[in-house]
Chains A and B, each alone.
Chain A
Amino acid sequence: MIELVSAERCTQCNICVAVCPVNVFDAASDGPPIIARQSDCQTCFMCELYCPVDALFVAHDAEGPAVVNEQVLVETALLGSYREAIGWTPGSRDRRGTDQSFKLTQPH
């Protein structure tokens, strides 16, 4: 579930408020968006993909909340890792168009 909106990184663009398909966030007038309805989070990771500054983190547990430490997420390079993996960061564009599914559909 969504666990982190980094106050340090967030630019208050509110893109996450717009793109979350289950309307988890509320925009705030004087700060980063608030995780207002965490229990509605469906752990789809879409907010992370659309965050231009990698301020969001969705933890792996879909069944309940988890404790995360921003410092550790930065140190272990997990913050922004999904966006990078699909080629949506400026430095990872060459990963777009490398879908290897065609190698996995053959019977083995």
Chain B
Amino acid sequence: MANTLSNAAGSIQFDADVLVIGGGPAGAWAACSAAGNGARVVLVDKGYCGSSGATAPSGTGVWYVQPEQAKREAAMASREALGGFLADRAWMGRVLDQTYDNINLLAEWGYPFATNDEGKSQRTSLQGPEYMRLMRKRVREAGVKILDHSPALELLVDDEGAVAGAMGVRRQQDESWVVRAKAVVIATGGCAFLSKALGCNVLTGDGYLMAAEAGADFSSMEFSNAYAIAPAFGSVTKTLFYNWATFTDEAGTVIPDAAGRHRSVIAKKLLSEKVYAQIDRADESVQAAMRMAQPNFFLSFDRGGINPFTQRFPVTLRLEGTVRGTGGLRITDQSCATSVPGLYAAGDAATRELICGGFTGGGSHNAAWAMSSGFWAGAAAADRARHLGTRTAKRVVTRAGGVALETRNDRPFDPARVTRAVQDEVLPYDKNYFRTGTVLHHSLRQLDLLWSDIRQADAAAPEDVVKAREAAAMTATARWMFRSALVRTETRGMHKREDYAKLDTAQRHLLTSGGLDEVWVKTRPAPALAVQEVAA
């Protein structure tokens, strides 16, 4: 079972107030906020803080709304039905407030917001490369110690079960690291199951697994089947631009009702044949704006010799799982604490049900959530560290990690095989996009077998351990997703049950899930409604 951490463990060791795991927007905001509140902070990133994650290579909208009551009201109301009436108005309000402040801070820090024809600064979108380059600079200037290419493998816990740090490897130095901390912020993003959606292959649910091993639970994991449109050969997922597209089948016939906003029609068609798109409804001014809005959208086409406005090209739907879904670690209070003492969650690692309910169609809300939840989690973590003071100096800590880390002397752990087995259950549209009880049962049987198989496998070889933990995290994530999806016998938000095609007003509740060897799901009440629920 749990191993006490020896003093010799780890090639490099740090003693911090706050450890932030993940260096995307949520982690960067958390680190800045914790440091700004007087904490000594270490930030570890699996890749490179500044390029890692779904935001850095993308362009993203931001839920930035002027603080005027009518505008705020409209912004909140517009998402209520889409999200299946599960969002919480109080949280929407505080995220709108915090996002407004943080975006304006970005402007003060020198982020180059565009201006419109009247010279007014336009702050409803961010260019990922610019944004994250600036955030890295701010994190460094805040005095945060950044460890790049340093994937965390497991959390450390004290004898009362509170999280007390983490350990991992520095994959370019061939050494390990240990950070003892008084509080840890998980900002490792969601889980997109290595689908190659833009920037998402670092997002494999690692933080979920680590947190679950320390006892954390999850919420809204059934809302985990977001798919984005991309060229069949490409990685760039920018569903917005397909609002100007016409979709055709192999023979060139227009597919009725297929649209960027109606991706289920495309998914249905893709089950049996190729689907093509042509962005033929964009006039010259829209085309020019698209190029200025997201240059990387055109890389796939310019380099492939395709003019997407005049030529059709094959498209696919790439799974974005909980990156664009709303499931994640359950948040227990306004500080973004999880159900485990000392552990906070921010960004896509945390549930976004609080502001989105069961649906998020775009980065806009997730970007707002990342900067708001990161800001709060960082501040709360610093606060906890200050309250703990020197009391933690002598505490005995143990390693919380299990699967792929413990020597079982049984079978080798083959990460590639496990990854493929999980992908076989979560990527297909007829298993995950369109769900039925029968198929979910079947998938869960496979995934449960896979889990018990890897639980009994030997510790992964040092060169495989990161990929083995990723594969294990994806397996665990798929089980929380599908177990929750099985319990919700209705269609709500992005969760579509073919065998229960209608919203059931009796199921306006939230699903908590958790567990590793035994996965469990429980219902809990949804927040009070601001508007009348209507069946879809």
Contacts and interface: CB of A to CB of B under 8 A. Distances in A.
B519 to A, nearest CB: 29
Contacts of A100: 114, 288-290, 292-293
Interface string A37-66: 000101111100110000000111111000
Main secondary structure of the interface of A (DSSP, over half): loop
Given A22-B47, A62-B233, A99 B59 contact: yes
Contacts of A23: 47, 149, 171-172
A96 interface: yes
B166 to A, nearest CB: 19
- Residue of A22, A61, A101 with most chain B CB atoms under a 10 A cut-off: A101
Contacts of B298: 85
B310 to A, nearest CB: 17
B112 A97 contact: yes
Contact of A104 (B115, B130, B200, B289): B289
A86 B304 contact: no
B129 A46 contact: yes
Contacts of B357: none
A97 B114 contact: yes
A69 to B, nearest CB: 13
A49 to B, nearest CB: 6
A49 B198 CA distance: 15
A59 B234 CA distance: 10
Give the interface size class of chain A.
35 or more
A81 to B, nearest CB: 7
B202 A21 contact: yes
B124 A49 contact: no
A73 to B, nearest CB: 9
A101 to B, nearest CB: 4
A40 B202 CA distance: 10
Contacts of B125: 99, 101-102, 105
Interface string A1-36: 000000000000000011111110000000000000
- Residue of B48, B127, B172, B243 with most chain A CB atoms under a 10 A cut-off: B48
Interface stretch (B2-10, B50-58, B472-480, B498-506): B50-58
B115 to A, nearest CB: 8
A98 interface: yes
A40 B293 CA distance: 28
Given A21-B199, A101-B124, A61 B302 contact: no
B300 interface: yes
Contacts of B292: 95, 98-100
A83 B126 CA distance: 17
A86 B129 CA distance: 9
Nearest to B130: A96
A101 B294 contact: yes
B124 A105 contact: yes
Nearest to A49: B129
Contact of A96 (B112, B241, B291, B303): B112
A19 B202 CA distance: 13
B434 interface: no
B281 to A, nearest CB: 8
Contacts of A104: 240-241, 286, 289-290, 293
Interface of B: 46-48, 50-53, 56-57, 59, 61, 112-116, 122, 124-127, 129-130, 148-149, 171-172, 196, 198-202, 233-235, 240-241, 243-244, 281, 285-286, 288-296, 298-304
11 contacts: A17-B172, A21-B48, A21-B52, A42-B198, A45-B299, A61-B233, A82-B295, A86-B129, A99-B127, A108-B243, A108-B286
Question: Which 9 pairs, one residue from A and one from B, show the smallest C-beta to C-beta distance?
Answer: A21-B47, A97-B112, A85-B295, A101-B125, A42-B201, A43-B235, A100-B292, A100-B289, A60-B303
Given A21-B199, A42-B202, A101-B122, 14 more contacts: A19-B48, A20-B47, A40-B201, A42-B200, A43-B196, A45-B296, A46-B57, A58-B299, A63-B196, A85-B291, A99-B127, A99-B292, A101-B61, A101-B125
